[in-house]
Amino acid sequence: MEDQHTTANFSPVQEPFQPGEEIIAPPETEGAETETGQGRGGLSLLREIVETIVLTLVIFMIINALTGRFRIEGPSMKPTLHEGQYLLINKVVYKLHPPRRGDIIVFHHPQDSTRDLIKRVVGLPGEEIEACNKQVTIDGMPLKEPYLVHLGGRCSGRIELGADEVFVLGDNRPNSDDSRSWGGLQQSLIVGKAWIAYWPPGDWGGVSHYSHSGSATAQRQRTGAGDD
């Protein structure tokens, strides 16, 4: 009896999916989803960069509209301020109230609009003022100026200020181009109030103004001038 060998071809049997078994997604599907996620992440990052740039520009424009920058040249405001200092100027404050006696302001030169000067307000609209013999008098009364070190300089003669004029002087009286030379300053020429000294770093801080509201003399002057 001959042995008969039968060759059988076996095909893999694919068992039916059983409940609870985990189906793994094909590798190519994962790759497609990953690429899509990376694309969205890149667009999101780009959007954030653009938003940051736009916000920075808006903030810069707002600050630039509200403030100015000024470099002091010359000795006319010594010892309060000195040459080479950089200041921030508040350009909004005088839209809220008029200049006050003792304020340090930046303004366009009344005889040369291409030049800006920085001085202190000592006389207010409607007052009669005279600066002579190391003394300022307002409506015939002496003005106390404890911030002064350098006194003297030329005399102004008596000047009656108009309804829209202030009288400005440098703290370094012998070396200052101010109202003694060209009279009252129109308030329309004022750029703003000196606010912060930011350079050099050792001078960082608020600019030192002086309030005359505490003295009896100033109170009488303020009442006569209608100053707030």
Enter the pTM of the model.
Answer: 0.71
Q: At a CB cut-off of 8 Å and minimum separation 6, what does 75 contact?
A: 82, 83, 172, 175
**Residue 5 has what pLDDT?**
47
Domain ranges of the chain: 66-225
**Residue 152 has what pLDDT?**
85
Q: What is the mean pLDDT of the chain?
A: 81
Question: Is-contact 184 138, C-beta < 8 A?
Answer: no
Interval 156-202: pLDDT, tens: 889 999 999 999 999 999 999 999 999 999 999 999 999 999 999 99
Interval 14-40: pLDDT, tens: 555 455 444 445 555 444 444 555 666
Q: Is 3 left (phi over 0), alpha (psi -120 to 50) or beta?
A: beta
Question: Is-contact 167 190, C-beta < 8 A?
Answer: no
**Residue 67 has what pLDDT?**
79
CA dist 192 → 38, 94, 138 (Å): 52, 7, 24
DSSP H stretches of helix in the chain: 27-66, 93-96, 179-182, 216-225
Distance of CA 50 to the CA centre of its chain: 25
Question: Is-contact 156 179, C-beta < 8 A?
Answer: yes
Tell me the mean pLDDT in the region 95-116. Answer: 95
Architecture of domain 66-225: Ribbon (2.10)
Active site positions, annotated? 76, 119
What DSSP character marks residue 173? G
**Residue 57 has what pLDDT?**
87
Interval 34-48: pLDDT, tens: 455 566 677 888 888
**Residue 6 has what pLDDT?**
44
Interval 69-96: pLDDT, tens: 999 999 999 999 999 999 999 999 999 9
